[in-house]
Amino acid sequence: MLFTKQYFFRIVLMIWIIPVTFSCKNTDVISGDQEATEQEIKPANDPETAKTMGLFLDTWMPKTFQTPAFIESDVPASADVTVTVDASEVITKIPLTSFGHNANTWMTPMISEPVFMNHINNLKPNIIRFPAGSGSDVYFWNARPGGLPADAPIMLTDKDNIKKEPGYGFGKTNDNWRASLDNYYDMLSQSNSKGVLTVNYGYARYGTSSDPVATAAHLAADWVRYDKGRTQYWEVGNENYGDWEWGYRIDVSKNKDGQPEYLTGKLYAQHFKVFADSMRKAAAEVGAKISIGAVMYESVPESWQTNTVKTWNEGMLPEAGNRPDFYIVHNYFTPYEENSTAAVVLGAAISQPSKMMNYVTQTITSNGAGLKPIAMTEWNMWAKSSKQQVSNVSGVFAALVVGESIVNKYGLAARWDLLNFWAEGDDHGLFSDGNEPNVAKWTPRPSFYYLYFLQKNMGDRLVKSTVQASNTAIKSYASTFSSGQASVALINISASPQTAEVKFENLKKGDRFYWYSLEGSNDNGDFSRKVIINGSAPSGIAGGPLDYTNLKARSAFSKNGIRVTVPARGMVSVVVGK
């Protein structure tokens, strides 16, 4: 064959085209792989809102992760347990109301305490209940000390038929040891929080007017008018099934509308409807949107409990009908006043929220009522005598309760309480009250730090996470941010450290992951009063590092695997960047 000039140029042209063609084909293959990878990431779809959350998700907001300052850190070479997070399987949107707390009337005016206000602003609880607890049933929001209504007896009848001064609370006070109602409102405003207000139901029982129910309902309605839409969530009474509550038993010789000596669930529901009608009418007058909750008993009654407790739900639910907007439950999860071990405390945090939700929902449906949102407006523990309530274990307990409240789809959860009494360590307070030896008032307890970092690194949607079946030490709560990141709180309930590897599915991971590690110290046995965060310890004998907002995260590249060591009875909060 003769190599003509024209043929020569054809050969040259083919040689030049072939690599270009292969290069183009190679580019197409890479692009196809990328598309395939993206297609393999399943989209995350929000499920239908659970009826037990309902209206409490109306305030839901998307959350953006803020990349923290960090310290480059080593990771374990291997792991004891694998945790798998599926970012496409959304369990629920996370209510802002999951991170609530209880204020009370005796914790100073609050806004006059700059240390407290700084911590509460950092904590961002979103929801703060008031006047809270049993004091709600003897609280007169519009009265001054010494200015009780004429139909409110000075002495009330307790469960044993003994007359006692109940410790009335007043909304208009200038005392430096307690908060006025306006102090509370100012605290909410300055901390960008919303309230849960508990109106005085007990007055409907012990009031001596000709119509104590209407009088008490009118008092509540006037509060709604005064509130002028600042508060959406309202409760009628506090634990009114309990024989410790004022109004459980009354002096019938002083009663003018024929009420029985002992309260029942049915009677409460009859009164609830009067309150609800008055309060909703008042809300309409001021153009406010309010939601009103009714009190339920939260668990299977014990044989030794009163008939009021045993019959409360079956009497209240049918009588109340569709009138409540939500139901209220309380629980102090550990055995009553027992010197509980760490294992008992943490086990209760894991088991009781689901047990309670199952009981409450079954009771609602079995009594012919419709499912409504469930608000756990008080929770804590009864454990005592070893400083359990002020310990690092209490912090782990708190993180577990919040995690389980979201998993089990409570609409609201509020810890009891922000400030209480030292009582040699049997103290529910999130902050020291100033009577704790060598600890300054408003020093945050370990629970504060666990709740701060749990919320700081939790996204806006709870997603599925699975711990390797053979491991019983690690609990995981995974979430995603609307900004694209994912996080998981790993909580170790065992007495030994655990190394964990986290594998994220259906997530476009970034180059780095970040984490904060929280653990106790070696004081006070299993119940250390300290919390150490990323190696930073408190300067004193209790609490945590005061520069917690400036602590740098630990960080490492994610390409080599996401592995962390979870301390014994501690927590590691991990976020994978986008």
Calculate the CA dihedral of residues 284, 286, 291, 294 and round it to 10 degrees. Answer: -80
465-470's contacts with Cβ under 8 Å and 24+ in sequence apart are: 465/83, 465/84, 465/85, 465/86, 466/83, 466/84, 466/85, 466/86, 467/81, 467/82, 467/83, 468/81, 468/82, 468/83, 470/81
Cα–Cα dist 488/479, whole Å: 6
pLDDT at 15: 37
Q: Position 45: which residue type?
A: N
Q: What is the 3-class SS of 166-204, one letter each residue?
A: CCCEECCCCCCCCCCHHHHHHHHHHCCCEEEEEECCCHH
Cα–Cα dist 560/562, whole Å: 7
Single out the residue of 60, 150, 143 nearest to residue 105, CA to CA: 143
Q: Which CATH class is domain 100-324?
A: alpha beta
Q: How far is CA 173 from the centre of its chain?
A: 30
In the block, residue with structure tokens 């007359």: 163
Where in the chain do CATH 2.60.40.1180 domains reside?
Answer: 60-93+461-576
Tokens describing residue 549: 């907002």
Q: Which residues contact 3 (CB under 8 A, 6 or more apart)?
A: none
> Phi-psi bin for 143: left (phi > 0), alpha (psi -120 to 50), beta?
beta
pLDDT at 217: 99
Q: Per-residue DSSP letters for 368-415? A: TPPP--EEEEEEE----SSSGGGSHHHHHHHHHHHHHHHHTT-SEEEE
Cα–Cα dist 345/395, whole Å: 11
Taking 70 as the pLDDT cut, the residues of the chain under it are: 1-39
pLDDT at 548: 98
461-467 and 81-93 beta bridge pairing: antiparallel
**Stated pTM of the model:** 0.93
Tokens describing residue 319: 């009588």
Tell me phi and psi for residue 536, to 5 degrees. -95, 120
pLDDT at 306: 98
Residues in the chain, overall count: 578
- Express each pLDDT in 175-228 by its tens digit: 999 999 999 999 999 999 999 999 999 999 999 999 999 999 999 999 999 999
- Helix/strand/coil for 553: strand
Where in the chain do CATH 3.20.20 domains reside?
Answer: 100-324
Beta bridge partners of 130: 197
Cα–Cα dist 541/559, whole Å: 40
Q: Per-residue DSSP letters for 259-314? A: --SB--HHHHHHHHHHHHHHHHHHHHHHT---EEEEE---SPPPTTS-HHHHHHHH
pLDDT at 578: 79
Kindly report the number of other CB atoms within 10 A of residue 558's CB atom.
18
Burial of 381 (0-12, 13-18, 19+ CB in 10 A): buried
Q: Please answer whether residues 210 and 257 qualify as being in contact, where contact means their C-beta atoms are separated by less than 8 angstroms.
A: yes
Architecture of domain 60-93+461-576: Sandwich (2.60)
pLDDT at 2: 39
pLDDT at 171: 98
Q: Please answer whether residues 394 and 344 qualify as being in contact, where contact means their C-beta atoms are separated by less than 8 angstroms.
A: no
In the block, residue with structure tokens 């000709």: 210
Helix orientation angle between 114-123 and 181-190, rounded to the nearest 10 degrees: 50
Cα–Cα dist 187/190, whole Å: 5
Tokens describing residue 427: 């103290």
Beta bridge partners of 180: none
pLDDT at 577: 82
pLDDT at 34: 39
In the block, residue with structure tokens 């190394």: 499
Single out the residue of 260, 249, 236 nearest to residue 156, CA to CA: 249
Tokens describing residue 267: 């009677």
